[in-house]
A and B are shown apart, each in its own frame.
Chain A
Amino acid sequence: MEGTLRKGGKMKISVVENVLKANDAVAHENRRRLEAAGVRALNMMSAPGSGKTTLLHETIATLQNDLRFAVLVGDLQTTRDAERLGDLDAQVTQINTGRGCHLDATQVTQGLETLDLEGLDFLIIENVGNMVCPAGFDLGEHLRVILLSVPEGDDKVAKYPTLFRPADVILLTKVDLLGILDFDVSRVEEDLSHINTRAPLLRISSKTGEGMDAWLNWLRGQKVRS
């Protein structure tokens, strides 16, 4: 849609174009491609150090005999996260964003090129650790998994509502530290009561295994029925 109004030597050109259109279109294509292959895609987002990679490792190690996983891991630098997942029976591709604070849909498309989607049940996209920027970019995922670790503090849902509002499940991680650190779970629940009442809040510890069954059951329930 374009129109031009001239006034003196100046003109106002109306354009009305979605600046994120390029990303959204690629995300849409990613989703279509994943759906055609019967793959459910999860976008996992949180602050750095909240336990995304450890949780992924425990999750896939437990389920890899029943379900087929692939992982795209986003980080600014290094292949350390991919290496940490290297002993699993899963396809793992590291995406380095360089200076980028988030993954975008095109990077995911490039990641998909490295994967064999045939027979895959889940694609897990581990986003760059960041509580602000990743939330603004659709990658073509079906579900958003948001982690909040106990050491980060119980005020983070209130401080970063745009991350928690679209979550499909919220994982409170490192709950083995609940007795050690001052973290009031009821504050998180209270904040979620006006930000997101859809997503279950699951308390888990990758270290002790506490709560892992609830998370694994939730995940199993998301598999595309064939």
Chain B
Amino acid sequence: MHEMAIAVSLYDQVCRAVEAEGEIRVEEVEVRVGDLQLVVPEAFEAAWDAVCQGTGLEGSRLKIVEVPPRARCRGCDEEFRPEVDFYLCPQCGEADVDILEGREIILSSLTAERVEG
């Protein structure tokens, strides 16, 4: 259930982005989530709804875009796409990698409507 901690951080960042824009109503929040974070989309959505309840972001949708992992072998520098459970370097056959992508959680965009006032 680390989804709740992530939802709270995301909430703070969305609020900051909204502040910069003035009076807007956020409809959709797009987040890129690395597969290695093991975020359960349904749990993340439920956490997001809970965090937003009673705030200006209530009713906003989360759009979760999954990002597959990408790795670089520490032995031979080969870059490749591992599976979450398979990190064998296709070049040298070791499983000793630095993760380049797939661990991130990135707020990428907001879809919003200007509130007429």
Contacts and interface: CB of A to CB of B under 8 A. Distances in A.
A joins B in a complex: yes
Interface of A: 2, 4, 9-20, 22-23, 99-102, 104, 132-133, 135-137, 158, 161-162, 165-166, 192-198
Nearest to A9: B113
A136 B9 CA distance: 14
B67 interface: no
Interface in B75-103: 84-88, 94-97, 99, 103
Q: Is the interface of B mostly helix, strand, loop or mixed?
A: mixed
Contacts of B37: 136
Given A19-B105, A19-B107, A196-B96, A165 B87 contact: yes
Interface of B: 1-2, 4-6, 9-10, 12-13, 17, 20-21, 24, 27, 31, 36-38, 74, 84-88, 94-97, 99, 103-114
Given A20-B9, A136-B103, 20 more contacts: A10-B111, A11-B114, A13-B21, A15-B13, A15-B17, A15-B108, A16-B107, A16-B108, A18-B104, A18-B107, A20-B6, A132-B2, A133-B1, A133-B2, A136-B38, A161-B87, A194-B85, A194-B95, A195-B85, A198-B95
Contacts of B38: 132, 135-136, 162
B40 to A, nearest CB: 10
Which of A14, A19, A195 has the most chain B CB within a 10 Å cutoff? A19
B69 to A, nearest CB: 10
Contacts of B24: 11
